[in-house]
């Protein structure tokens, strides 16, 4: 069965075509302009960042060569031919890795507790007073915008070299990040239970404890686990500024050109991150169902 | 039911004078005590030479131009690094997406490669690149590019996997080959999502770019680390303020842009 498609008369068609062409042309123009602006920004940025393609291509061999060298032992053999020699400092490194994970764990826990205490004041629907909300939000913003390693630098000076500085830095950064996420969960919580508890004459604290907390606790735990995972990565570089963990060993190995050590430590870090990634992913899946993994 | 008589306020006032006309001393007691407590607190802070006074006022000294240049460098590093990462990650992410490469054997190594790149922190990449191209912001650009390459590869491939299959099938039904399917079936769906993610990363990379200077890869981090080490707290607080303002500005701009590209719904 064929149906003849009726074609509009020439004049009507011309008008419609014209309108279509104009709409497309406007869209194209906008796209071209946006692209031009973007490229201009890129050019400015590449001048600002001293991008030098000649250097890049001249030394790109170094990059490949670097990986070649970090996988070569001092006697010239490939690292995997002599695992014992490659991981000669395994005991010490594993100890440091353990310290890294502990820094991350303690820091995350501190951060989560602080964020937990603060987030009810930062959420739109539960905050007792607008000015308090404003203040707490700014504090959290500050804590998460200043990078953890900057806090670490400051704490290293305040408390001396060692993992304590790292823990505090991670705790502060996590407080900022988790406080925001927690308060967003609270903002999504159902307010009816709060009204119910409130109507019995309960105080603000009881409202939070009995009406809000049961709704949000699972979300809190999920985000805290995710944060732990991120913090392991962050704790692995805390040692760069002397704030404990495996980063110390790594930076020494890189700076002193102990090539095979670099690859060994990197491998250990990547493996640890993998394991923690998969572990926390699995745990969140088990605790809160599939959809909490995203 | 009997109705209670309306209380006669005059009579009540007369009967309980202490409740209605509390003496001035009793009324002032609480505020005075609070004020006193706060006053001692402030006195203590001043007398004990409490440190925040050393952070204030934030003062760049004579090095404001140098700091501005460093901040510009930081922003450049973030923008360039993210763009390079996105350009290289797009084709790779196709290889890591289940609906493009159904074979697990090919997908698995790509995914693991992306995972291991992501497992290494930006700072570590910066250290590696410093060995290759020398100290300076270019190393920072490359560090951000590499570490974001891993993150983008994963995010993009997830966006591609979430895309609607029907449009791809439509292209195939009308005789398009595999490249046509990707170009006309997938990309129109995926690009807005990707653009949103890239913008978000530019924003978050402004934060990471502030720190890679600590290992010598350019940007404001170098200045910050130096000033912290020599205990110039006024300069430190000025630099931190600069970073806060810059990040807030980028936040705002990229929020607007994301809104323009993908609409309100996806901004959150």
CA nearest to B216 within chain A: A240
Among residues 11-50 of chain B, which lie with CB inside 8 Å of chain A?
A: none
pLDDT of residue B54: 62
pLDDT in tens, B6-18: 777 888 888 887 7
A60 within domain boundaries: no
**Does A79 fall in a domain?**
no
- Compare CB distances from A147 to B77, B207, B215 and report the shortest one's residue: B207
Q: Does B51 touch chain A (CB under 8 A)?
A: no
Q: Is the separation of the CB atoms in A229 and A280 below 8 Å?
A: yes
Q: Is residue B4 part of a domain?
A: no
Query: In terms of domains, do A32 and A158 share one?
Result: no
Average pLDDT over residues A260-280: 87
Q: Is A234 on the interface with B (CB under 8 A)?
A: yes
Using CA atoms of B152, B157, B163, B165 in order, give the dihedral in degrees to the nearest 10: 160
On whether residue A246 sits in a domain, the answer given is yes
Interval B152-161: pLDDT, tens? 988 888 888 8
Would residue B252 count as lying in a domain? Answer: yes
Highest mean pLDDT (candidates A143-152, A191-200, B219-228): A191-200
Residue A104 has pLDDT above 90, yes or no: yes
Q: The CATH number of the domain where A151 resides is what?
A: 1.10.3720.10
Kindly state the percentage of chain A with pLDDT values over 90.
15
Domain presence at residue B173: yes
Query: Considering the domain boundaries, does residue A77 fall inside one?
Result: no
A270 closest CA partner among A66, A68, A102, A97: A97
Tally the domains of chain A.
2
Number of domains in chain B: 1
Residue B85 resides in a domain:
yes
A159 interfacial to chain B (CB closer than 8 Å): no
**A14 lies in which domain range?**
10-51
- A69 in B contact zone (CB under 8 Å): no
User: Chain A residues with CB inside 8 Å of B128's CB?
Assistant: 63, 66, 254
- For residue range A52-69, what is the model confidence (pLDDT) as tens digits? 777 777 777 777 888 888
Question: ipTM score of the complex?
Answer: 0.74
Can you give the pLDDT at residue B85?
92
> Taking 80 as the threshold, does the pLDDT of residue A292 lie above it?
no
Task: Give B258-267 contacts, CB < 8 A, sequence gap 24+.
Answer: B258/B195, B258/B196, B258/B199, B258/B200, B261/B192, B261/B195, B261/B196, B261/B199, B262/B192, B262/B193, B262/B195, B262/B196, B266/B192, B266/B193, B266/B196, B267/B196
pLDDT reported for residue B2: 65
Nearest C-alpha in A relative to B141: A49
Q: Indicate whether A74 belongs to any domain.
A: no
The CATH number for B225's domain is 1.10.3720.10
Q: Does B191 reside within a domain?
A: yes
H/E run at residue A264: helix A259-288
Same domain, A38 and A176: no
- The pLDDT tens digits of the residues spanning B14-72 come to 888 777 777 788 788 888 998 999 998 888 877 776 665 566 677 767 778 888 888 88
Mutate to test the interface with B, among A34, A41, A45 (most CBs of B within 10 A): A45
Domain housing B229: 66-267
Q: A167 and A258: one domain?
A: yes
Give the closest of B76, B133, B142 to A48, CB-based: B76
CB–CB contacts below 8 A, A to B: 122
* Residue A288 falls inside a structural domain: yes
């Amino acid at each position: 069965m064929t149906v003849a498609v009726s074609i509009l008369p020439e004049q009507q068609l011309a008008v419609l075509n014209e309108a279509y062409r104009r709409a497309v042309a406007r869209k194209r123009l906008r796209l071209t302009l946006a692209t031009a602006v973007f490229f201009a920004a890129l050019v400015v940025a590449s001048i600002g960042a001293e991008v030098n393609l000649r250097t890049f291509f001249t030394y790109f061999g170094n990059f490949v060569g670097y990986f070649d060298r970090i996988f070569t032992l001092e006697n010239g053999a490939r690292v995997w031919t002599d695992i014992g020699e490659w991981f000669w400092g395994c005991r010490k490194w594993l100890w440091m890795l353990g310290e890294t994970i502990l820094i991350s764990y303690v820091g995350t826990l501190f951060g989560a507790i602080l964020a937990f205490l603060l987030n009810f004041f930062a959420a739109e629907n539960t905050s007792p007073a607008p000015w308090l909300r404003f203040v707490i939000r700014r504090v959290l913003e500050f804590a998460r915008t200043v990078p953890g390693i900057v806090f670490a630098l400051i704490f290293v000076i305040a408390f001396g070299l060692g993992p304590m500085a790292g823990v505090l830095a991670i705790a502060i950064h996590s407080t900022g990040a988790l406080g925001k996420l927690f308060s967003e969960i609270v903002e999504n919580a159902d307010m009816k239970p709060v009204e119910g508890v409130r109507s019995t004459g309960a105080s603000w604290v009881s409202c939070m404890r009995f009406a809000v907390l049961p709704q949000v606790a699972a979300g809190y735990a999920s985000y805290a686990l995710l944060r732990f995972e991120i913090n392991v990565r962050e704790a692995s570089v805390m040692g760069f500024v002397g704030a404990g963990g495996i980063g110390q060993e790594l930076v020494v190995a890189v700076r002193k050109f102990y090539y095979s050590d670099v690859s060994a430590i990197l491998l250990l870090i990547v493996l640890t991150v993998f394991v923690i990634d998969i572990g926390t992913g699995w745990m969140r899946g088990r605790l809160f169902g599939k959809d909490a993994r995203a | 039911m009997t109705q209670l008589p309306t209380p006669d306020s005059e009579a009540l006032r007369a009967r309980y004078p202490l409740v209605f006309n509390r003496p001035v001393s009793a009324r002032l007691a609480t505020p005075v005590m609070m004020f006193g407590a706060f006053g001692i607190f402030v006195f203590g802070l001043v007398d004990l030479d409490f440190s925040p006074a050393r952070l204030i006022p934030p003062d760049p000294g004579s090095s404001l131009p140098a700091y501005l240049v460093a901040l510009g460098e930081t922003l450049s590093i973030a923008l360039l690094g993210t763009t390079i990462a996105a350009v290289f990650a797009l084709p790779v992410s196709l290889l890591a997406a289940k609906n493009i490469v159904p074979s697990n054997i090919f997908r698995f190594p790509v995914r693991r490669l992306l995972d291991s790149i992501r497992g290494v922190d930006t700072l570590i990449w910066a250290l590696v690149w410093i060995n290759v191209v020398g100290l300076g912001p270019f190393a920072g650009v490359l560090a951000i590019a590499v570490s974001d390459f891993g993150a983008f590869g994963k995010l993009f491939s997830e966006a591609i996997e979430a895309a609607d299959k029907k449009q791809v099938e439509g292209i195939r039904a009308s005789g398009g080959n595999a490249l046509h399917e990707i170009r006309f079936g997938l990309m129109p769906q995926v690009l807005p999502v990707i653009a949103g993610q890239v913008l978000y990363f530019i924003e978050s990379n402004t934060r990471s770019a502030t720190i890679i200077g600590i290992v010598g890869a350019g940007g404001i981090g170098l200045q910050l680390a130096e000033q912290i080490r020599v205990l110039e707290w006024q300069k430190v607080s000025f630099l931190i303020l600069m970073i806060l303002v810059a990040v807030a500005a980028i936040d705002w701009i990229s929020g607007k842009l994301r809104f323009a590209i993908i609409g309100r719904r996806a901004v959150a």
